[in-house]
Amino acid sequence: IAFSQFLQEPLKIFLGVGLLLLFWVFFGSPSLNHVVILYGVSALLSLVIGSVALRKALTISIPDYTSLNRVFRQSLPFILISATSMLSSNIDKLMLGWLATAADVGIYTASAKVALMSNFLITSVAAGFAPRVSRLYANLEYEEIKVQYIRMAQLLGVIGFALLLCFVFFGRPILGLWGVEFVAGYGVLVVLSTGQFINLLTGASHVLLSYTGHERWLARLALIFLVLNVVLNFVLIHSYGVLGAALATGISYIFDSIVVISVVNRKTELTVRIMDFLKWNQGD
């Protein structure tokens, strides 16, 4: 599953950029409608390729004695987490469509896709990290969990910081691939990539809660931050337009990161401090 997720998300990005480059070479600067169509094609192609890869790799059989009611009850927190995460990832665009213009939505969406293109790294790392967390936590190997978590956080943080620098210096020509009018989303790109840097640095902390038996806490936090995201978008879009939507999303990322790590420290036997991210000799 992790391999399929790792394959599908970057494929969608690379196919989308590749199709845009081809369109730009043969037909010139694309319009907003062209961008939407090309993105839809890249998403469909990546879904097909990822599904084929998952189909070939996945061999799961459900035992006859499995209780569907029990499975459903245990899955409720994860269903809530998935639903709120899906809403949170789209609430900025939905509220821009309500409070701003279609052009603003197009500019914001293009900038957000570039800034958040590394989301697949969090998904892939979480898929590989989660089983180890459960096993190590059951064996009371708390220090090993912390060491692995910090190492992954540092790696993702370095990637996030490198992407942030790339977008700060080359963001305008990158957005120009979508068309000249999309360069107006440069501020959105920088703000969102700053929030994404924090998200990458602490993203695996959600795994620490959900796979140590505290998934209900994670579901509550997801709901709280969805409400926060809605309020921030409503207030900041009125004041700053597309940049306000980016600020709302970035602030939500930062607050989510701080609070989730705080809950990990209070509800589990793990203690993660900010200074731990600056130590490169974890476990040595």
Mapped to the 3 state alphabet, what secondary structure does the chain carry? CHHHHHHHHHHHHHHHHHHHHHHHHHHCCCCHHHHHHHHHHHHHHHHHHHHHHHHHHCCCCCCCCCCHHHHHHHHHHHHHHHHHHHHHHHHHHHHHHHHCCHHHHHHHHHHHHHHCCCHHHHHHHHHHHHHHHHHHHHCCCHHHHHHHHHHHHHHHHHHHHHHHHHHHHHHHHHHHCCCHHHHHHHHHHHHHHHHHHHHHHHCCHHHHHHCCCCHHHHHHHHHHHHHHHHHHHHHHHHHHCHHHHHHHHHHHHHHHHHHHHHHHHHHCCCCCCHHHHHCCCCCC
Mention every residue, 6+ apart, whose C-beta is less than 8 A from residue 255.
225, 228
| pLDDT tens digits along 19-49 | 878 888 888 777 767 777 777 777 777 767 7
pTM exceeds 0.85, yes or no: no
Handedness of CA 134, 139, 145, 146 (dihedral sign): positive
Residue range 214-249, pLDDT digits in tens: 888 888 888 898 899 999 999 999 999 999 999 999
Q: How confident is the model at residue 185 (pLDDT cuts 50, 70, 90)?
A: very high
Range 147-164 average pLDDT: 89
Give the model's pLDDT for residue 84. 75
Range name among 130-139, 160-169, 228-237 with the lowest pLDDT average: 130-139
Using CA atoms, how far apart are residues 159 and 18, in angstroms rounded to an integer?
22
Using pLDDT thresholds of 50, 70 and 90, give the confidence band for residue 142.
confident
- Supply the pLDDT for residue 65: 47
User: For the chain, what percent of residues have pLDDT higher than 90?
Assistant: 20
pLDDT tier at 4, thresholds 50, 70, 90: very low
pLDDT at residue 132 in the model: 84
* pLDDT over 60 at 6, yes or no: no
Judge whether residue 205 has pLDDT over 50.
yes
Q: What is the pLDDT of residue 145?
A: 87
Range with the poorest average pLDDT among 81-95, 129-143, 212-226: 81-95
pLDDT at 1: 44
Q: Whole-angstrom Cα distance, residue 153 to residue 74?
A: 28
Of 65-69, 227-231, 269-273, the least confident = 65-69
> CA 103, CA 83: separation in Å to the nearest integer?
27
Of the two residues 48 and 185, the one the predictor is more confident about is 185
Please, which pLDDT band fits residue 58 given cuts at 50, 70 and 90?
low
Give the C-alpha separation, 136 to 263, whole Å: 19
| Predicted local confidence at residue 2, as pLDDT | 46
